[in-house]
Amino acid sequence: MTTITSAPPAQRRATVGLALVLTAQLMLILDMTVVNVALPLLKTDLGFSAANLSWVLNAYALAFGGLLLFGGRLGDVIGRLRSFEIGVTVFSVASLLGGLAQDPAMLVASRALQGVGAAIAAPSVLALIVAGAPTEAARNRGLALFSAVSSAGASIGLILGGALTGYASWRWALIINVPIGLMAVLLVRRFVPETNRQPGHFDVLGAITATAGSVALVYGFISVADHGWTSPVTISAFVVAAALLSSFAAVERRARQPLLLPSLLQARSRVAALTTMMLFIGVQMALFFLMVQFMQRTLGLGAFTSGLAFLPLSLAIFAVSRVTPRLVARFGPWPLITAGSTLGLISVAWLRELTTTSTYWGDVATPLLINGIGAGLAFMPITVVVLSKVDDRHTGTAAGMLQTTQQIGGALGLAVIVSVYASYAVPGEFIPGVREALDTASIFGLLAVLVAGTMAARQLRPGRTPALVSAATE
């Protein structure tokens, strides 16, 4: 195997550049969960009320998910490297402010600003990986690593957050982003080429309606957990989201240079891939939410140990992602997406049998391992399908679509699962409601299998080739 030091200079530069942007991507993703295990300490240290504590998580998710389409288009217009640098800088400054927060308002505001920075930077990561790859094989390896980092980032956030909270302070879970972000901003331009800018008009009205509509939609899903599906707050958010997104669709049909090209949604395979990703992420967020509580409330594990318990999932993702590019080249993307979605379904169906006498090694570790294998098989092929046959000028927009789908899928899955769990929960106990919540997650998983399986059947129809491009673009 060729090492970095023995590789040609161009390959070394590409490898270092890939490492820098993936490190930044990991930082952006793990911050969705890095403060989860610190929530009890935050409540005590800063004086959060029980109702407002969820906004430590929701402020980040709301800004991140709501602004991703805007961030993707911004990178297309001003250059993805510049957009990446701006986003990481904003994120790092916000992390420092959050780590120094002295009251709830300052922490929530800094978390929202982190989300803004993440939304600006994240869509450019995929585009820079594609642009910086010298060969098709290098491109697929980069996408596999991106998928591994993105899918394992949430569980790594739980581990890192638990370690920093348990052995130092919750503040370090935020401040640690500052040197990482600074390193990425200072070095990335030396190793990653800037992409071509897309000249012409910036669709301001489209950006406003898409961003506001996405924010309203994500807020609607988030509010379900706090207020329920029939609350005036929830219903109003969804009504506003529907109105704004309908306006966005009308604007895009007339725009000279639209924010979101309708052609990106004309390929059935791309729409199916986005749908599968949304459903799979919904399953994973439900699993994270319930298993963290099971480990702490039923098994009595501490913050660091409960985060460490997700290692089987994270390690499985990274191990499987090493071989996924070769499997995609041989079988095409959809059989792998179907297999991965099936394993995700199996993992939550297995966990529905948890009881007060269940143990980690006997009842939890194996389903987590299975879920990680499934994610490792599915996420890279989904990313390949979404980005296949996208013009270089629009890869940032396509990447923004993919990551918007992930955020909305996570918010939707979490909102539905929390709502179902709460309706069956018994005060002071954890297990009541878990089976019903995971049964609901299994519905998400089953839908993902059906969508992926349908596309796999089309790909494997007699006379069709499993080649990557044809499978991704029909």
Q: Measured between alpha carbons, how far apart are the two ends of the chain, in Å?
A: 36
- The residue written with tokens 């979101």 in the block is 260
Domain of 169? 9-202+257-473
263 plus 247 within the same structural domain = no
Amino acid found at 5: T
The answer to whether position 43 is within a domain reads yes
**232 contacts: CB under 8 Å, gap ≥ 6:** none
274 plus 220 within the same structural domain = no
48 plus 15 within the same structural domain = yes
Q: Which two three-digit tokens encode residue 73? A: 């288009």
**361 contacts: CB under 8 Å, gap ≥ 6:** none
Q: What is the pLDDT of residue 7?
A: 54
Question: Contact 90/81 with Cβ under 8 angstroms?
Answer: no
280 plus 214 within the same structural domain = no
Name which of 108, 149, 104, 161 is nearest 125 in CA terms.
Answer: 149
The answer to whether position 132 is within a domain reads yes
The 10s digit of each residue's pLDDT in 172-186 is: 889 989 999 999 999
**357 contacts: CB under 8 Å, gap ≥ 6:** none
Q: Residue 73: in which H helix or E strand, if any?
A: helix 55-78
Question: Contact 130/387 with Cβ under 8 angstroms?
Answer: yes
Name which of 407, 453, 345, 328 is nearest 150 in CA terms.
Answer: 407
224 plus 183 within the same structural domain = no
The 10s digit of each residue's pLDDT in 72-130 is: 888 888 888 999 999 999 999 999 999 999 999 999 999 999 999 999 998 888 888 87
| Domains contained in the chain, number | 2
- Render 420-461 in DSSP notation, one character per residue: HHHHH--TT-SSTTHHHHHHHHHHHHHHHHHHHHHHHHHHTS
Question: How far is the CA of 107 from the CAs of 41, 102, 148, 303, in angstroms?
Answer: 13, 8, 29, 21
Question: Contact 363/290 with Cβ under 8 angstroms?
Answer: no
- The residue written with tokens 């602004």 in the block is 67
261 plus 345 within the same structural domain = yes
The answer to whether position 88 is within a domain reads yes
264 plus 249 within the same structural domain = no
**Of 236, 256, 276, which residue is a domain's last?**
256
- Render 82-96 in DSSP notation, one character per residue: HHHHHHHHHHHHHHH
80 plus 227 within the same structural domain = no
Q: What is the pLDDT of residue 73?
A: 80
Q: Which two three-digit tokens encode residue 44? A: 């005590």
Q: What is the pLDDT of residue 200?
A: 62
Name which of 274, 282, 417 is nearest 345 in CA terms.
Answer: 282
The answer to whether position 166 is within a domain reads yes
Amino acid found at 308: L
Helix then strand count (H, E) for the chain reads 18, 0
The answer to whether position 130 is within a domain reads yes
Q: What is the pLDDT of residue 85?
A: 95
- The residue written with tokens 């961003």 in the block is 211
Question: Contact 398/338 with Cβ under 8 angstroms?
Answer: no
Q: What is the pLDDT of residue 470?
A: 43
Angle at 447 between CA 399 and CA 413, to 5 degrees: 65
Give residue 44's region: left, alpha or beta (phi > 0; psi -120 to 50).
Answer: alpha
The answer to whether position 216 is within a domain reads yes
**Of 212, 229, 256, which residue is a domain's last?**
256
219 plus 103 within the same structural domain = no
Q: What is the pLDDT of residue 50?
A: 58
180 plus 208 within the same structural domain = no
Q: What is the pLDDT of residue 462?
A: 61
Q: What is the pLDDT of residue 158?
A: 75
CATH of the domain at 308: 1.20.1250.20
The answer to whether position 1 is within a domain reads no
**23 contacts: CB under 8 Å, gap ≥ 6:** 180, 183, 184
**Largest CA-CA distance found in the chain, in angstroms, rounded:** 65
d(CA 62, CA 120): 14
The answer to whether position 231 is within a domain reads yes
Q: Residue 304: in which H helix or E strand, if any?
A: helix 303-308
Q: Which two three-digit tokens encode residue 145? A: 């690593």
Would you write out the chain's pLDDT as a tens digit for each of its 474 residues?
Answer: 445 455 566 677 778 888 899 999 888 888 877 787 777 678 788 887 755 777 887 788 888 887 888 888 888 888 889 999 999 999 999 999 999 999 999 999 999 999 999 999 988 888 888 777 777 777 888 888 888 887 777 778 878 887 887 788 889 889 989 999 999 999 998 888 887 777 666 777 888 888 888 888 878 887 876 788 889 999 999 999 999 999 988 888 887 777 777 778 888 999 999 999 999 998 888 888 888 888 888 998 877 787 788 889 988 988 998 899 899 989 999 999 999 999 999 999 999 999 999 999 999 999 999 999 999 999 989 999 998 888 777 777 788 788 888 878 887 787 788 888 888 888 888 899 999 999 999 999 999 999 999 999 987 776 555 544 444 434
269 plus 400 within the same structural domain = yes
180 plus 231 within the same structural domain = no
